[in-house]
Structure 1
Amino acid sequence: MTSTLERATALPPLQLGGLTVDPAVVLAPMAGITNPAFRTLCREFGAGLYVCEMITTRALVERNVKTLQMVQAAPGEADAFSVQLYGVDPATVGRAVEMLVDEEVAGTRPAHIDLNFGCPVPKVTRKGGGSALPWRRVLFGNIVRAAVRAAGDVPVTVKTRIGIDPEHVTYLDAGRIAQDEGAAAITLHGRTADQLYSGTADWSHIARLVEEVSIPVLGNGDLWEADDALRMVAETGCAGVVVGRGCLGRPWLFGDLAAAFAGSPRRTLPGFREVAAVMHRHATLLAADQGELHGCTDFRKHVAWYLKGFSVGSDVRRALAMVSGLDELAELLDRIPDQPYPEAVLGAPRGRTSQPRPVALPEGWLADRDDPRPPAGAELETSGG
């Protein structure tokens, strides 16, 4: 089922070096979510750039088995495989990029590499990583430079937040430095690290960054519907959007985004039978990658997102939360009556929420913005976030 909304002006494709992204839509990396199965599912609904789960540079350089498995391209990604890296040491980041580009450890050469400077998780920021790191602007520049040089003709982009908190804003410096060091684009999430995922994203900072730099700026934060993306582009002048939580349980959002950025008013409102088919397809893709038991177990986390707003009996919900096989999943979904899409949930937040809290930082972290030394102990040993 589809609905129609006011027609919008088409958005030009996004150009990242030699890579054209059309429509200018990027799937944000999400730990435990943006694996090959989910990326494949989303791509079936609409074109765009679909980024894998965050890969830790130290774990990649040390050839950690789990990380090498996570960094594998999915079928159909040969020409647009996208990797996000987390790292705090320029030498390690550079070596990880070399492995991806020159050794093709992912099984294919990536078409795009993103650097994560936006993670607000306390276990990361308390060591000076993630969204804390751009405060150390020299170190930040050294990391971007190392990645760009190692990448050669593969475009490198940067993702960050407004800053640590309202008193320690970093995004304008980060944008200028990233541009000077050769980054192809920068993504800004319209929250500070201390907000985590609380409150409302402030898109005005995205507009300010667009004015500050000449490289493309991508907007991120509170994109729940395709029309939110159109509004963000209209209000900020950003060159494209990065979508995270908004697609949880709604991979067809990428079809809506493709339509919206092509100037079409069509939007998808699937009935439950259509949603059930998508759920089974998702679980089938996971099972193909991980085996049926592990794939269905992994799928359980998605069930509540898909069912949000639908009328479903508590016994079926409980059973779906423990589903272990594809036939069992199909039987349980058949027990749910068909019904229209619950429009009351449109535009509502999805996924993780949190209360704002002070950012945990290393002792003395704010004292010297030009300290080039990598933060001690900030390297992560596992990928995914």
Structure 2
Amino acid sequence: MPALTTTLRIGPYPVDPPVVLAPMAGITNVAFRRLCREYGAGLYVCEMITARAVVERDPKTRHMMAFDPTESPRSVQLYGVDPATMSEAVKIIIGEGLADHIDTNWGCPVAKVCRRGGGAALPYKRRLFANIIAATVAAAQPHGVPVTAKFRIGIDDEHHTYLDAGRIAEAEGAAAVALHARTAAQRYSGQADWTHIAALKQAVRTIPVLGNGDIFTAADAIAMMEKTGCDGVVVGRGCLGRPWLFGELQAAFRGEPLPPGPNLGEVARVLRRHAELLVEHDGPEKGIRDLRKHMAWYFMGFPVGSQLRRELAMVSTPAQLDDLLERLDPTVPFPATAEGPRGRQGSPGKVTLPYGWLDDPDDPSVPFAADLMHSGG
């Protein structure tokens, strides 16, 4: 495979290969990012935090913002609905030396968030969106900290917002934009429509455009860039239970042979390494409990057996994990059925919005109570 020549910079930071780990709530903590970084370079984004929680000095939020000493640049995704709160949060983050890059989230499709005007619903309010990006950039730019924006195609097929969002973010000083090529109504179902990434690339000319959606293999990433002309890719669900995907991506972008998929013994070793890093971050009880959600992803497609799968999903101590992993046959090769979609998918649904939300897209009013803790999109 020939190398794909591309140069991606997020503000002052080169990103080579042009690969970004998408922030995923409860997933992309310091342990998982360290594990992924051990396979390949790129930009690895901390799980999303809310601006309000930063301003309120929430201890749990501060713990979520932990970074490995070797992690550079340190990247945080920030969510908020109020320009003033976003500005204050950025000032705290930069003033306390907590991060080097601020991403902003406008892609959450969760019902309780969109119902209040947050997440993927907010870019419909063009003036409010512009005010938030402008305030965030104004707080970050004097310190050389780049601000980026990640959003979806829109609310649903009748209300696309991404072209306006891209142009607004560009005009207000964002260093890059990223498009998850689904609407909020799609959630994570169906297929991402990469043609919208190509359209955004044509609309936004002076800053990088990144593509997100249905990148489950290195070949998917190369195909997205070739088909859309985007400047880089954002990988989310495709790396769940397979942090080695970043090694495959690095090889693909450099035109090198892809490393073979790991056998079951190597998967067990990676899982044990993940456990070690989680325990280091959260302690043995919480760390091992957090690992449980990853079990099905790690063993997807492998003939592990239903009883052992159940026991792994209920593991509670590092010693118990070691005992269970010893029962695996380490020689089992990586199965073809381990490729393909993984993580949440679900089904599409109607997006519920605040009363009168669609009446005036130029209304700059801040939605009430829309900045509660939630998962990103």
Q: Match for residue 167 of structure 1? A: 158
Candidates 118, 130, 146, aligned match of 2:107 = 118
Give the whole-Å Cα distance in 1 for the aligned partners of 2:305 and 2:14: 45
Aligned to 2:290, the other structure's residue is in SS state helix
Candidates 262, 272, 277, aligned match of 1:270 = 262
Q: Match for residue 278 of structure 2? A: 286
Give the whole-Å Cα distance in 1 for the aligned partners of 2:321 and 2:43: 30
Deviations 1:306-345 (A, max 9, x none): 0101011222112111111222212211111120001123
Candidates 61, 71, 77, aligned match of 2:55 = 61
What's the CA shift for 1:32?
Answer: 0.6
Size of the aligned set, in residue pairs, is 372
Q: Match for residue 368 of structure 2? A: 376
Contact 2:113 2:374 in 1 (8 A): no
Identity %: 59
Give the whole-Å Cα distance in 1 for the aligned partners of 2:342 and 2:350: 23
Aligned to 1:32, the other structure's residue is in SS state coil
Q: Match for residue 315 of structure 1? A: 307
Q: Match for residue 146 of structure 2? A: 155
2:89 paired with 1:96: yes
Give the whole-Å Cα distance in 1 for the aligned partners of 2:31 and 2:232: 24
Which residues of structure 1 form unaligned runs of 5+? 1-6
Q: Match for residue 40 of structure 2? A: 46
Which residues of structure 2 form unaligned runs of 5+? none
Aligned to 2:360, the other structure's residue is in SS state coil
2:91 paired with 1:134: no
Alignment of 1:232-243 (within 5 A): 232-243=224-235
Deviations 1:35-70 (A, max 9, x none): 110000000010111101101000110101111111
Deviations 1:177-233 (A, max 9, x none): 000000011000110010000100000000011011111100000000010000000
TM-score normalised to structure 2 length: 0.97
Q: Match for residue 36 of structure 1? A: 30
Contact 1:308 1:345 in 2 (8 A): yes
What's the CA shift for 1:74?
Answer: 2.2
Candidates 319, 324, 346, aligned match of 1:327 = 319
Deviations 1:271-302 (A, max 9, x none): 00011000000011001111112111110110
Contact 1:8 1:265 in 2 (8 A): no
TM-score normalised to structure 1 length: 0.95
AA aligned to 1:309 is G
2:33 paired with 1:21: no
Q: Match for residue 6 of structure 2? A: 12
Q: Match for residue 333 of structure 2? A: 340
Give the whole-Å Cα distance in 1 for the aligned partners of 2:290 and 2:30: 13
Q: Match for residue 221 of structure 1? A: 213
Aligned to 2:259, the other structure's residue is in SS state strand
Aligned to 1:268, the other structure's residue is in SS state coil
Q: Match for residue 3 of structure 1? A: none
Q: Match for residue 4 of structure 1? A: none
Q: Match for residue 171 of structure 2? A: 180
- In structure 2, the CA distance between the partners of 1:345 and 1:328, relative to structure 1 (3 Å rule), is same
Give the whole-Å Cα distance in 2 for the aligned partners of 1:272 and 1:171: 42
- In structure 2, the CA distance between the partners of 1:83 and 1:225, relative to structure 1 (3 Å rule), is same
Give the whole-Å Cα distance in 2 for the aligned partners of 1:384 and 1:37: 18
Aligned to 1:302, the other structure's residue is in SS state helix
RMSD: 1.1
2:258 paired with 1:258: no
Aligned to 2:149, the other structure's residue is in SS state strand
